[in-house]
């Protein structure tokens, strides 16, 4: 059983608010990822981290920011939410090198009104 | 850059076999994955295949890899309504390089 948790599962928030999506894992994995997924669309990598104090932008430009102060946590922050940020956000982790599957959280479905 | 392509939809009758196809471009792919995403949930790894294999069978699932054509397929035998989901193909060069996902194929199983 994968131990990766995302909170909240669902969030409806007004335009201009600051929000932080939480992602926590108890597997001690170095690699963590944030994906954005619009309904019926592909996964887009928006941020990733290969360890503490390491963060990189992904393929899809995003106005969000991330931090990795601890191995277990990889929060994603939107300073000023907009309706265009409405989407599902999926967090994932992977272990070391070699054949390692990615474990996904259940996702946060964000709606900005 | 890397690219992974899949058809968007597949509809099959319960009890029939489903075949979901995927093509990829990165010849350095070491691992190829199939993930399943049920409504409102994250992605769950179904099965994977190493690039030096042609076929892998796991209960009702059969993965076929044509490395020359960079074509991957997932066959689900005796498809059930519980198999209705979105299936993502992903290619992985290994090490610390990122995994590239396809757009996902939505499988609809008709009772």
**Nearest-CB residue to B103 (from A41, A102, A107):** A41
Mean pLDDT over all residues of chain B? 89
Q: Which chain B residue is nearest to residue A41, measuring alpha carbons?
A: B103
Task: Mark yes or no for CB contact B43/A90 under 8 Å.
Answer: yes
Q: What is the pLDDT along chain A (113 residues), one digit of tens a residue?
A: 558 999 999 999 999 999 999 999 998 998 999 999 887 677 888 999 999 999 999 888 889 999 999 999 999 999 999 999 999 999 999 876 655 678 889 899 999 99
- SS3 call for B15: coil
Interface contacts A/B by beta carbons within 8 Å? 53
Integer angstrom CA distances of residue B77 from A81, B43, B55, B92: 45, 21, 15, 26
Distance from CA of B51 to the nearest CA of A (A): 11
Q: What's the Cα-to-Cα distance from A24 to each of A46, A48, A57, A76, A94, rounded to whole Å?
A: 17, 14, 19, 11, 13
Q: Is A41 on the interface with B (CB under 8 A)?
A: yes
Q: Do B95 and A97 touch (CB under 8 A)?
A: yes
d(CA B106, CA B84): 8
Q: What is the CA radius of gyration of chain A?
A: 13
Residue B42: pLDDT band by 50, 70, 90 thresholds? confident
Cα A93–chain centre separation: 10
Q: Report CA torsion sign: A37, B61, B31, A1.
A: positive
Torsion sign across C-alpha atoms A38, A87, B36, B72: positive
Is there a cis peptide before residue A39, judged by omega within 30 degrees of 0? no
CB of A109 closer than 8 Å to CB of A10: yes
Taking the CA of residue B29 and the nearest CA in chain A, the distance in Å comes to 12
């Amino acid at each position: 059983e994968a131990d990766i948790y995302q909170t909240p599962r669902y969030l409806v928030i007004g335009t201009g608010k600051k929000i932080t999506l939480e992602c926590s894992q108890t597997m001690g994995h170095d690699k963590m990822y944030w994906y954005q997924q619009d309904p019926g669309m592909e996964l887009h990598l928006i941020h990733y981290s290969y360890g503490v104090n390491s963060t990189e932008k992904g393929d899809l430009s995003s106005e969000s920011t991330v931090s990795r102060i601890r191995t277990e946590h990889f929060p994603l922050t939107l300073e000023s939410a907009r309706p265009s940020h409405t989407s599902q956000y999926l967090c994932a982790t992977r272990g070391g090198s070699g054949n390692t599957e990615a474990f996904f959280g259940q996702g946060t479905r964000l709606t900005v009104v | 850059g890397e690219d992974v392509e899949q058809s968007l939809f597949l509809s099959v009758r319960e009890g029939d076999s489903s075949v979901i196809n995927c093509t990829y471009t990165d010849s350095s792919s070491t691992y190829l994955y199939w993930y399943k995403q049920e409504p409102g949930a994250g992605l769950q790894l179904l099965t994977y295949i190493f690039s030096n294999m042609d076929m892998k069978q796991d209960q009702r699932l059969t993965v076929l890899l044509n490395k020359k054509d960079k074509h991957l397929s997932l066959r689900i035998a005796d498809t059930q309504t519980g198999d209705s989901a979105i299936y993502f193909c992903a290619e992985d060069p290994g090490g610390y390089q990122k995994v590239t996902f396809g757009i996902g194929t939505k499988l609809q199983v008709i009772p």
